Amino acid sequence: MSRILQLGTESNWSLQYSNSFPAVSYLNDSAGKPIYQRITEINVPVVFDKPIIAISINTTIPVGKIWKYAGYLRRSLTTGLGATFVGEPKQLFLGKFNLIVFEDLNINYFLSIQVPKWFISATTAIYQYEGIDTTTLQDDVNAIKTSLGI
């Protein structure tokens, strides 16, 4: 059984959330450079209802540095007992669209993002896949029925 998706079609993606988060500067070190407070976990205030998303994280990289890691993404849902994290955190790459496919649940969920402590700003964009998401299961069933003469 194969999954049929059209991920390469731009119109199949819908921007669900976009925002920028600056770190707060609260002191200066002995050289007069600002010291930044870590950006807290970003709780995305959107309910997602599709299992496929693409997320982009960007930041300003200091001259001479090579950063690839953009933190991690966690998924949660609301139960009768409160918010519950589901599955393992997903690592995110910096400056690229991270394609995330959730297979285990087909239920509304929330996202939270934790960027690395050294980020002094973070810009996020989260898209939800709205296109065709079917499987070849029905084709397979019809082929079996045909071969059995049903």
- Model pLDDT for residues 118-148, shown as the tens digit of each residue: 999 999 999 999 987 777 666 667 777 778 7
Predicted confidence at residue 124, as pLDDT, reads 97
* Full set of structural domains in the chain with CATH: 12-148 (2.60.120.1300)
Query: What would the two tokens of residue 96 be?
Result: 């690229």
pLDDT of residue 139: 66
Q: Which pairing describes strands 69-79 and 110-114: parallel, antiparallel, or unpaired?
A: antiparallel
At residue 147, the 3 state secondary structure works out as helix
Give the model confidence (pLDDT) of 36-61 as tens digits. Answer: 899 999 999 999 999 899 999 999 99
Instruction: Give the whole-number percent of the chain exceeding pLDDT 70.
Output: 94
SS3 145: helix
Residue 136: the pLDDT is 66
